[in-house]
Amino acid sequence: QVQLVESGGGLVQPGGSLRLSCAAANYTLADYAVGWFRQVPGKEREGIAAISSGDESTHYRDSVRGRFTISRDPAKRKVYLQMNSLKPEDTAVYYCAARPPVATLRAEMYDYWGQGTQVTVSS
């Protein structure tokens, strides 16, 4: 069982930056694709970025491409989401999820989920 823990959320002003981290509490993420998702009340969870294992190919939602970057740490124990030029509409609970081994932005394809971290973009 892969246990995922997100961290790095918080309150930031529009135009600011945050870096979210997703760590596997008891496992390496080397063989897993990892995706980042977000959800606001009353809306479906949406995939925003994902990275495959192996070739580390990446996928991004159009609304975040060029502003957000997904990456792995060299030890393959963490996956990061660097978020720049944040907008109020980026406000959501952000989740990371894992599946072996090919990345996708489809939430239903993921097997393991973290508990989420709140990101609020407001002045």
Q: What is the pLDDT of residues 50-82, one digit of tens each?
A: 999 989 999 999 999 999 999 999 888 999 999
Instruction: List CB contacts of 1: < 8 A, sequence separation 6 or more.
Output: 26, 112
What are phi and psi for residue 82, nearest 5 degrees?
A: -85, 120
Count the neighbouring beta carbons within 10 Å of the beta carbon of residue 118: 12
Whether residue 17 is predicted with pLDDT greater than 90 in this model: the reply is yes
Relative to beta strand 46-51, strand 58-60 is antiparallel
CA distance 69 to 79: 10
Q: What is the pLDDT of residue 23?
A: 95
Question: Does residue 19 register a pLDDT over 80?
Answer: yes
